[in-house]
């Protein structure tokens, strides 16, 4: 499973892009995305897909030296879970 996460501070919150690509024959059936303990997405993928992409504009809070934790979890059709955690601190 390949995760691509990008984030940029916005005027309010953060602009976040999440891309997931399954390897070989992995089919994604569910994706959960949490930012700082709050749910951004809880998506069932039907029909199952080998890729997933979602953009979030102005998500969460942002401010000088604010810490963030983004957790992305993808479940595949064989019920195995794969996750990625990205942490960052907003600049001053």
Instruction: Please write the tens of the pLDDT for every residue from 17-48.
Output: 999 999 888 999 999 999 999 999 999 999 99
pLDDT category, 71, cuts 50, 70, 90? Answer: very high
pLDDT at 23: 87
pLDDT at 92: 83
pLDDT at 80: 95
pLDDT category, 67, cuts 50, 70, 90? Answer: very high
Mean pLDDT, residues 3-30: 94
Mean pLDDT, residues 52-78: 96
Domain count for the chain: 1
Long-range contacts, 45-54 (Cβ 8 Å, 24+): 48/77, 49/22, 50/21, 50/22, 50/26, 51/19, 51/20, 51/21, 51/22, 52/18, 52/19, 52/20, 52/28, 53/17, 53/18, 53/19, 53/20, 54/17, 54/18
Domain that holds residue 49: 2-89
CATH number of the domain to which 56 belongs: 2.60.40.10
């Amino acid at each position: 499973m390949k995760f691509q996460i990008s984030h940029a501070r916005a005027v309010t919150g953060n602009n976040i892009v999440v891309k997931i690509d399954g390897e070989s024959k992995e089919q994604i059936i569910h994706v959960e995305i949490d930012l700082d303990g709050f749910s951004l997405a809880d998506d069932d993928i039907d029909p199952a897909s080998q890729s997933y992409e979602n953009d979030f504009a102005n998500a969460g809070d942002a401010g000088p030296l604010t810490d963030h934790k983004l957790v992305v979890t993808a479940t595949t059709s064989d019920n195995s879970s794969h996750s990625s955690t990205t942490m960052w601190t907003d600049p001053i």
